[in-house]
Structure formats: structure tokens, C-alpha cells
Amino acid sequence: MTKPGYFGRFGGFFVPEVLVSSLKQLEREYATVAGDEGFWTELNKLLGAYAGRPTPLYPAKRLTESIGGASIYLKREDLAHTGSHKINNALGQALLAKRMGRSRIICETGAGQHGVATATACALLGMECEVYMGEVDVERQKLNCFRMDLLGAKVNVVKSGSRTLKDSINEAMRDYAASSNHTHYLIGSVVGPHPYPTIVRDLQSVIGREAREQITAETGRLPEALVACVGGGSNSIGLFYPFVDDEDVKMYGAEAAGEGVDTGKHSASVVAGKEGVLHGARTLILQEEDGQVSETSSVAAGLDYPAVGPEHAFLSVSSRAKYFAVTDAEALSGFHLLSENEGIIPALESAHAIHLATKVAADMPRDQSVIVCLSGRGDKDVAQVAELEGRL
Ligand SMILES: *Cc1c(COP(=O)(O)O)cnc(C)c1O
């Protein structure tokens, strides 16, 4: 890292002045809490007794046989409480907020998965929770709104801009600027201004630390490759980070190619983005010629974001990790492949990683291994798939 909050030339702290003191304070307080062993002990207790960690590392034998290459192992984040890796970050930041003396939590959500995880953590820890969600997303995800309501959270409907995730982040930042003395903004991925990309990466790294121990116990050595889907980039950086210094371990990120990278209807910000500043960080962003942020598209709501966490931008330009765009159609084939061969219905986001992993594994010898982050379960997506395929 060049200077704090930077990953090479990416990252940083490009925010309006009203946010500077809040974020500086968060940086200081996080440094204090992160240095306190008691915090990590308490968090690990919650991750174990409440969220179901460690999640299994499962050898997907039938999937491996159907591909005929390297052995594929699934890191089962789909088995974590609330059905995805998002709970790791939500619990960690909620506990951090509590230690910092905050009683109120705000967050943004797109499809509602991060909103549900945050509302869950707040119910567990007895904290007030408000979620910002775009009007368009509220319409698309009524059930998740009801879930947040059940969990005691208040959903604020965002009616500005494109009324989706990007605008919800803007509204949450606005709230935070005015309320940070009693409120913590619990951001959902490794995006936004410093210190968020570092905090969220630290909290999601439990995925890679566990996977490293588990694969070593199983095969006696490290894997040859890691694969994960990349929206903002939190489940992928969580898997990758503990292996970054192991140069023989290759890393592959699966972005959403939507209807195809050439069609303009996609969310592949590493593969097709340009450098710029969005939500307080210098990173790779999908943008028009005049610099306006592009509209994005993906069958997987969790990948539908026009930028990527700055650390991924750095891993890409430094060639430490490689990123590929997987289309909606390819993700759907990964969705069916895993369901039929292993009895595991993956989230549509994770199905992007499954598809890429089959390509990667097919080109590798049988005595090597690949770990795929199965970031979430597909229950939330079955109705959408049925409709897409005209099966309802
Ligand atoms: C939100 C989500 C993602 C994408 O977010 P990242 O920050 O890129 O991990 C991927 N998979 C699932 C299941 C999600 O809910």
C-alpha cells in the first residue's frame, strides 16, 4: 500500500468537506477497535454461535467430474445466516459501531440483501436501523422490504436520480454527514471513501482465512486458483486477500457481462470501465464519454453496480488478479449446472463465479484444486429464474 487508504493509485478520500471529519473520526476509532483483541474475540463468538461460521469448504465431486479438470471446492457462504457472506460485514460493523458508542445504524441497499443483513445485525445487538433503498428497487424487491420491516428496521425510499443503489449510497452519505456523532454508516461492500474499503475487506477476510486452513487440512497444500464473483467486490476480496502474497495462487474475478459487454447492458467495471472518482474513491467506473456514470444491467441484482472496490482496480492493473465478464446466459447455465450436479441452488451472483470456475478448472490438471466462493444461496432468485425461462 502506498499511503493509508490507497491501493496503488486507487482508493483515497474524495468527499465533500461535511464528510471529512466524520470519516477521519471513523478511521481513528476503527484503528483503536481493530487493535483491541477483545473486539475480535467478541466478533468471532457471534460469527460462530449466531452466523454459523466456519462455513464448510465442500469438495464438489460431481461438478468436478462433469468438467474433467482440477478439483473444485466450494466455500459455502450460502450456509451463513441470512444466506450470504453479507452477514460477516454487517455483524462486524454493527459491533464496531456499538464499541464506538453509536446507537443508530444507517445503510444503503440495492436488491435488499445488505439491508436485510444489517437489519438482522441491528436486531441482534439492539440498535436502531434505517435503510436507504431506491424507489425502483423497492418495487422490485417487496419481500426484502417486508423482511427489514419484520426485523424492526425503517426503510427510507429514495426518489432522487435513477432511484437505485447509486442514489441510495448518496442519500446515506448525506444522512451520515449530519448524524455521525450518534450514527454509523454501515456500507455494504469494499467501496466508498477510505476507511471503508479496508474495514469491509478486513471483516470479509474471514472467508479466505478459513478457506486457507480448510484446504490445507484437506489436500496438504494451497489451491492453485481462487474464483469469486465481483459486484462491489467484498466476497471476492474476502477470499483473495489472505492469499495475496502467495504468488502461485491465481485469482479470478467474475464480473457481470449482462447481455454482453458490447451491448452496453452490463456491469463489468474492471473489464470495461475507465478510471474516475465515484462515491469518494478513485477506481474503475463504467462511464459515458462525458464522464457521466453509465446505467448498468445484470440478471444478478447484487452485481448491478457501475464501479468496483479500489483494491480490485489495483489487483487488476498490477495483474495480480484477472477479471472476466460472464453473461446472464452463462450465469444461468452455471445456476442449473450446480443445482443439478450438487443439489445446491446458488445465488445468481454466485452462479457467475461457478461458470468462470468451470472454465478455469477445465484448463487445469486433475491433481490441482480451485476454490470458488459460493457467495449466497439461490432461494431469493428462483422466482426470477422461473419467470425468465417462461416456466411459471
Ligand atoms: C451482494 C452480493 C454479491 C455482490 O457483492 P460483493 O461485494 O461483490 O461481494 C455477491 N453475491 C451475493 C450472494 C450477494 O448478496
Average pLDDT, the chain: 96
Please state the rounded mean pLDDT for residues 310-324. 98
Residue 4's pLDDT band (cuts 50, 70, 90) = confident
Beta strand pairing status for 71-76 and 57-59?
A: antiparallel
DSSP characters over 51-100: T-PSPPEEE-HHHHHHHTSSEEEEEEGGGSGGGBTHHHHHHHHHHHHHHT
Residue 389's pLDDT band (cuts 50, 70, 90) = very high
Residue 141: its pLDDT value, please? Answer: 86
Residue 264: its pLDDT value, please? Answer: 93
| pLDDT of 265 above 90 | yes
| pLDDT of 1 above 60 | no
Please state the rounded mean pLDDT for residues 313-338. 98
Return the C-alpha cell found at 15: 468527499
Please state the rounded mean pLDDT for residues 88-102. 97
Ligand 1 pocket, mutate which of 114, 349, 350, 373 (most atoms under 8 A from CB): 349
Residue 124: its pLDDT value, please? Answer: 98
Ligand 1 atom at minimum distance from 303 CA:
4
Q: What is the rounded distance in angstroms from the CA atom of residue 90 to the CA atom of residue 104? A: 13
Share of the chain above pLDDT 90, in %: 95
Q: Which of 29, 108, 130, 255 is catalytic?
A: 108
Please state the rounded mean pLDDT for residues 322-329. 98
Residue 2: its pLDDT value, please? Answer: 64
Better-predicted residue by pLDDT, 254 or 1: 254
Q: How far is the CA of 198 from the centre of ligand 1 (A)?
A: 17
DSSP class of residue 376 equals: B
Residue 384: its pLDDT value, please? Answer: 93
pTM: 0.98
Q: Does residue 171 contact residue 160 with C-beta atoms inside 8 Å? A: yes
| pLDDT of 352 above 80 | yes
Return the C-alpha cell found at 179: 448524524
Please state the rounded mean pLDDT for residues 232-256. 98
Residue 3's pLDDT band (cuts 50, 70, 90) = confident
Residue 14: its pLDDT value, please? Answer: 95
Is 75 among the residues known to form the active site?
A: no
Q: Which string of b and e fits 264-280 if b means at least 16 CB within 10 Å? A: ebbbbbbbbbeeeebbb
Ligand 1 atom at minimum distance from 114 CA:
1
At 33, which amino acid appears? Answer: V
Read off the pLDDT of residues 124-172 as tens digits, 9 standing for 90 and up. 999 999 999 999 999 888 999 999 999 999 999 999 988 989 899 999 9
Structural domains of the chain in order of their starting residue, each with its CATH number: 8-47+85-200 (3.40.50.1100), 52-83+205-388 (3.40.50.1100)
Is 265 among the residues known to form the active site?
A: no
Q: How far is the CA of 79 from the centre of ligand 1 (A)?
A: 14
For the chain, what is the radius of gyration of the CA atoms? 19
Q: Is the Cβ atom of 86 under 6 angstroms away from ligand 1?
A: yes
Q: Which of 250, 349, 375, 380 is catalytic?
A: 375
Please state the rounded mean pLDDT for residues 117-126. 98
| pLDDT of 8 above 60 | yes
Share of the chain above pLDDT 70, in %: 99
Q: What is the rounded distance in angstroms from the CA atom of residue 77 to the CA atom of residue 52? A: 10
